[in-house]
Amino acid sequence: MAADDTTGLQEDLHGAAQLEGAILAVSGLVKHFPIRRGIIIRRQIGAVRAVDGISFALRRGETLGLVGESGCGKSTAGRVVTRLLEATGGTIRFDGRDITRLRGRHMRVVRRDIQMIFQDPYSSLNPRHTVGTIVGAPFRIQGVRPPQGLKAEVQSLMERVGLNPEHYNRYPHEFSGGQRQRIGIARAIALHPKVIVCDEPVSALDVSVQAQVVNLLEDLQHEFDLAYVFIAHDLSVVRHISDRVAVMYLGKIMELADRDTLYEAPLHPYTHALMSAVPLPEPDAAGRRERILLAGDLPSPASPPSGCVFRTRCPKYRDRLDAAQRARCDGEVPELIRRGTGHFAACHFPEVRTDLASAEIPAAGV
């Protein structure tokens, strides 16, 4: 590749956190939970590396899927992005403004534009509050007075998400799981935010209800020009709703690409293993596809492996690399590197694609 071309790619990557139309940019985000020991004098003896240096950007009106095994840090990342948890390191920029350390009234203003839909529709709603109180809470907290009155606005929101507005005074226990999740969605869209982090919003629901909730989220996105960070472990749901997908493992992003590229031509061995588990509707195709089984359990985020964190379970490391290549995986942490247009992978020895640029350029912000 010519030097000018390489420079252009570097500029493209270093500016990726400020992509044209980006509403949210996360760079080098870290969240470590301290491990303390002692009764009277407690001292820190380590840390759980729940999120360990992830970067991505989210465009207006876009859905970024965040997938991975349970315990990989997806939900923690979502809570840090929404500032429900404080970041240990890195930066979060919303609409061009650094919100990583905002406090008090300054952060309260931003919260109008960044909301969250929680995973469990049973524990995320106060059982002592009526639906009207729950959905109306954002207006009271932010001091917003709807022109037509609070009750009328809440009932309008209930109707928009498919609930009977006459149930304004009912309590959460009087609703099904799917209806409770709709209450959570109504609460999230109440102030017309720009970004919503959806933390596995359908994982606790029946399959028949999941499609209804996903379709509702898509309708609301088109109506209000919402941007979603959609956290899930169901790869079929993620493929349906996402524009781009990031794959997490042990607190790190292993691969990031647009939806079709990631599902049809994954580069990282971990992504390959995940995709091999996706059910196929054609029995013949499912029979021809090799299922990749990962050995062992997810390592502890309190003591992750050295070098590549995936190497202890990587089938490629185990079966296809020589001693020198394995030594590199043992001792060198792979960077999230650009492997093609909008396609990034954190692997020293990714699968080969014929349309790749020859240069490997670290992604400062993806």
Give residue 17's pLDDT band: very low, low, confident or very high (50, 70, 90): very low
Taking residue 239's Cβ as centre, other Cβ atoms within 10 Å add up to: 17
**Alpha-carbon distance values, 233 to 6, 39, 74 (Å):** 36, 38, 9
pLDDT tens per residue across span 207-233: 889 999 999 999 999 999 999 999 998
- 208 and 285 co-located in one domain: no
Residue 345 host element (H or E): strand 343-345
Give residue 12's pLDDT band: very low, low, confident or very high (50, 70, 90): very low
pLDDT the model gives residue 365 = 44
Contacts of 210 (CB under 8 A, 6+ apart): 202, 237
pLDDT score of 281 more than 70: no
pLDDT score of 353 more than 90: no
**Is residue 4 assigned to a domain?**
no
CA distance 231 to 47: 24
Strand 361-362's sheet: what is its strand order?
114-117, 195-199, 227-231, 63-67, 244-249, 252-258, 343-345, 337-340, 361-362
pLDDT tens per residue across span 314-334: 999 999 999 999 999 999 999
- When mean pLDDT is compared across 1-10, 103-112, 311-320, the lowest value belongs to 1-10
**Dihedrals φ, ψ of 252, to 5°?**
-120, 155
pLDDT the model gives residue 289 = 63
**Number of structural domains the chain divides into:** 2
User: Which amino acid does the sequence have at 344?
Assistant: F
- 87 and 219 co-located in one domain: yes
**Dihedrals φ, ψ of 362, to 5°?**
-60, 145
**Is residue 247 assigned to a domain?**
no
Tokens matching residue 62: 């876009």
pLDDT score of 340 more than 90: no
pLDDT the model gives residue 297 = 83
Say if residues 156 and 139 touch (Cβ distance below 8 Å). Answer: no
The pTM (predicted TM-score) of the whole model is 0.88
Enclosing domain of residue 219: 23-33+49-242
Question: Rounded to 10 degrees, what is the CA torsion of 122, 220, 25, 77?
Answer: 10
Give residue 192's pLDDT band: very low, low, confident or very high (50, 70, 90): very high
- 54 and 172 co-located in one domain: yes
**Is residue 177 assigned to a domain?**
yes
pLDDT the model gives residue 283 = 60
CATH of the domain at 186: 3.40.50.300
Q: For 317-335, give one letter per residue: b (16+ CB within 10 A) or e.
A: beeebeeeebeebeeeebb
pLDDT score of 127 more than 90: yes
CA distance 200 to 174: 23
Q: Find residue 225's DSSP bridge partners.
A: none
Residue, of 292 and 232, whose pLDDT is higher: 232
Q: What is the mean pLDDT of residues 348-362?
A: 57
89-94/22-37 β-pairing: antiparallel
pLDDT the model gives residue 288 = 59
- 236 and 297 co-located in one domain: no
**Alpha-carbon distance values, 313 to 24, 48, 318, 360 (Å):** 33, 20, 8, 25
Mean pLDDT computed over every residue of the chain: 88
pLDDT score of 5 more than 90: no
pLDDT tens per residue across span 133-160: 999 999 999 999 999 999 999 999 999 9
- 233 and 268 co-located in one domain: no
89-94/252-258 β-pairing: unpaired
- 213 and 309 co-located in one domain: no
**Is residue 98 assigned to a domain?**
yes
pLDDT the model gives residue 207 = 86
- When mean pLDDT is compared across 50-54, 225-229, 244-248, 340-344, the lowest value belongs to 340-344
- 53 and 143 co-located in one domain: yes
Q: Which of 242, 267, 284 is the last residue of a domain?
A: 242
